[in-house]
Amino acid sequence: MKDKFDSLKGKEISKIILAVSGGADSMAMAHLFTQSNISKKMTAIAVTIDHSLRPDSQKEAALVGQWIEKMGLSHHILKWVDGAKTKTNIEQRAREARYDLLIDFAHKEKAQAILIGHHQDDQIESFFLALNRGSGVKGLSGMKAIRKQKGVQIIRPLLENTKAELKTYCEQNKIPYVNDPMNEDEKFARVRIRKNRKALGLEDKRIQLAMKNLARAQDAIDFYVDETIERMTRHDGTWFIHPLLESPAEVALRALGIVIQKVGGQTYLPELEKLERLYAKLKQKESFKMTLGSCILSADKLTIKVEKQ
């Protein structure tokens, strides 16, 4: 495989975290990293999240640590303490907990970036999940190869590779990996999509093309969102409303979501339906007060005040 870490070149990264679940994708990523030239220019720490969702999760995380240390990387296990108690919306809550733990660890270690082993199949499955949620352009355009979250760069170097290619790489290089039984459990939406998407008769390359086109549209929206937020800003905890009302609805909704996410310190934007209700109230140009995204919102005809709850 060609060097997967070109995206790290030229960046001010002296320390990096590798998220290693033990699956073929993350184990291939870790091995590829150790073989790359860039690995010699920075300190790397591999991290495995013990989600506590299976009885043997702790033992499995320790085994992954042994494999990783044989590659010459240091290894840490982080435990999601609420995992064993989680009974509903497991996929989403586990994902949120995983990123929170990784980012908190990166801050603690003063690491500037986190490598994630998401691949092409993950990208396509995410498209169908977003489609089922009724997501807009942002959700349907897929995961970005590089994005920033709470001051840490999230980098996905394997988005152009399929799961099959990564498994083959592991087998050719005698890299052990874990087969998670939860990846076969059809009570999870992602597993159902994985097992049944071929039956739809849709070609992966066509789905990828659609995502690429949507991502280009997303870049255009982001440009106008940034401009709108700049025109809204008053630097005193309040924001002008009129730039929102002058913008297309998609731009206004995204700008509102980003402002609330930033002030509330949340990982994700508020739900679209809730943003739509807020936007509708702002268009009425009446005073109101409400809570959303860990924020208290107070609006009058001209401005909206956004305070952390």
Q: What CATH number is attached to the domain comprising 50? A: 3.40.50.620
pLDDT tops 70 at residue 38 = yes
User: C-alpha 201: how far from its chain's center?
Assistant: 28
**Any domain includes 206:** no
* End residue of a domain, out of 168, 200, 232: 200
Mean pLDDT value of segment 1-15: 77
pLDDT digits (tens, 9 = 90+) for 16-35: 999 999 999 999 999 999 99
**Any domain includes 209:** no
**Any domain includes 213:** no
Whether residues 234 and 191 fall in one domain: no
The Cα–Cα gap between 6 and 22 comes to 23
User: C-alpha 157: how far from its chain's center?
Assistant: 13
- Reported as a pLDDT band with limits 50, 70 and 90, residue 182 is low
The Cα–Cα gap between 110 and 89 comes to 32
Domain count, the chain: 2
pLDDT digits (tens, 9 = 90+) for 55-83: 888 999 999 999 999 999 999 999 988 76
- Reported as a pLDDT band with limits 50, 70 and 90, residue 49 is very high
pTM of the model: 0.85
How far is the CA of 85 from the CAs of 50, 60, 80, 237, in angstroms? 14, 19, 10, 38
Whether residues 51 and 172 fall in one domain: yes
| CATH assignment of the domain containing 249 | 1.20.59.20
C-beta atoms surrounding 186 within 10 Å: 12
Whether residues 37 and 141 fall in one domain: yes
Whether residues 184 and 254 fall in one domain: no
**Any domain includes 93:** yes
CB 116 within 8 A of CB 99: no
Whether residues 171 and 130 fall in one domain: yes
Whether residues 141 and 238 fall in one domain: no
How far is the CA of 248 from the CAs of 44, 217, 242, in angstroms? 44, 14, 12
Q: Using alpha carbons only, give the angle 190, 194, 200 rounded to the nearest 5 degrees.
A: 120
Whether residues 187 and 61 fall in one domain: yes
**Any domain includes 210:** no
**Any domain includes 258:** yes
The Cα–Cα gap between 72 and 89 comes to 37
The SS3 call for residue 67 is helix
Give the pLDDT score at 185. Answer: 66
**Any domain includes 211:** no
What is the span of the domain harbouring residue 133? 6-200
The Cα–Cα gap between 198 and 131 comes to 16
Assigned token pair, 193:
């999509």
Whether residues 18 and 154 fall in one domain: yes
Give the pLDDT score at 245. Answer: 95
250-254 long-range contacts (CB < 8 A, ≥24 apart) are 250/136, 250/137, 250/221, 251/221, 251/224, 251/225, 252/228, 252/279, 253/279, 254/138, 254/221, 254/222, 254/225
Whether residues 188 and 230 fall in one domain: no
pLDDT tops 70 at residue 253 = yes
pLDDT tops 70 at residue 204 = yes
Give the pLDDT score at 259. Answer: 96
- For the chain, the average pLDDT equals 90
Whether residues 96 and 14 fall in one domain: yes
CB 259 within 8 A of CB 228: no
pLDDT digits (tens, 9 = 90+) for 92-101: 888 888 999 9
Whether residues 173 and 139 fall in one domain: yes
Whether residues 44 and 179 fall in one domain: yes
